[in-house]
Amino acid sequence: MDPDLSVAIRSEGDRTVVAVSGEIDVYTAPKLREHLIDLVSGGHYQLVVDLEGVDFLDSTGLGVLVGGLKRVRAHDGSLHLVCSQDRILKIFRITGLTKVFPIHASVTEALSADA
Amino acid sequence: MATVKVSFTAVTAHVRTARLVALAVARRAGVAEEMLDEVRLAVGEACSRAVGVHSQLGGEHPVMMQLSDDRDRFSVEVVDRGTLDEDPAGVLADIDLHEVSSRALDDDIPETLPSGFGLAVISGLVEDLDVASDGASTRVTMVWPTTLRRGGI
């Protein structure tokens, strides 16, 4: 167990909520990547990644999220993000990835969105 | 000028340590509170890049980070011992983040975002940025204004 990053996975109907907390950086991002790969390998293609507990996200983390999105898309799935923190949203804005990911202010909102 | 120097083995686990040190020194130097997240992210990207360069090249060279509090400015230099062919300043000039992002889902792009992406993120964050490469090393210099004077570091 890595104290810098923790990942909790639960099912909500046909969706899988991946709640991430801690810091997603060059050191911890591979762990998140493994979780996303495992989920897709296990047939979970409708993902909601909850970033509300994340207090740091860098470009390596963005790469992992993009990789996850590509994996679920290959199975006609979806990857929605939950994030209302401006410090985290900023890197999505700078990189233009706000156009690539559906980003919601809460898990409830993400779950009620079209997959 | 007061200075803190950090030299660390090029492993990813130390990037977080470098971020924490930079954050603490920036706060002490008087960088505005609302800019500290930018400092943390930009320093993290610069150190991640340097670690990546060193791990591609092998060898035992440490990554160097120097933090300087110079009157009304706080500067961070991250120096690698990279001798990769890529010209970081050229990469920086060529990369268009929004263009890369809009193509991010195309199948021909590898899962990881392209090299230079981290550097481009820094350029999106930091107004006063300089990237210099002399073939033997690359120096990324980032400068932020300070608003409070609390004495030296």
pLDDT (tens, 9 = 90+) of chain A, 115 residues, equals 456 899 999 999 999 999 999 999 999 999 999 999 999 999 999 999 999 999 999 999 999 999 999 999 999 999 999 999 999 999 999 998 998 999 999 999 999 998 7
Fold of domain A13-112: Transcription Regulator spoIIAA (3.30.750)
What are B73's two structure tokens?
């400015």
Q: pLDDT tens for chain B, 153 residues: list them.
A: 679 999 999 999 999 999 999 999 999 999 999 999 999 999 999 999 999 888 888 878 899 999 999 889 999 999 998 765 566 666 666 667 777 777 767 655 556 677 678 888 998 899 999 988 887 888 999 999 998 655 555
Q: Do A91 and B102 touch (CB under 8 A)?
A: no
CA distance A58 to B44: 7
Cβ-contact B82, B51 below 8 angstroms: no
Exposed/middle/buried for B131, CB within 10 Å: 0-12, 13-18, 19+? buried
Q: Reduce the DSSP state of residue A1 to 3 states and report it.
A: coil
Chains A and B form CB pairs within 8 A to the count of 85
Q: Enumerate domains of chain B plus CATH numbers.
A: 2-145 (3.30.565.10)
Distance of alpha carbon A74 from alpha carbon A10, whole angstroms: 22
Closest residue, chain B, to A64 (C-alpha): B112
Residues 6+ apart with CB under 8 A from B32: B145, B146, B147, B148
Residues of chain A contacting B, Cβ within 8 Å: 4, 23, 25-27, 56, 58-60, 62-63, 66-67, 69-70, 73, 87, 90-91, 94-97, 99-100
Which single residue is written with the structure tokens 């004077």?
Answer: B149
CB contact under 8 A, A4 and B16: yes
What pLDDT sits at residue B86?
62
Contacts with A85 from chain B: Cβ below 8 Å? none
Res B133: pLDDT = 84
Rg of chain A (C-alpha set) = 13
Option in B12, B99, B100 nearest A26 (CB):
B12
With beta carbons less than 8 A apart as the criterion, state whether A84 and A105 touch: yes
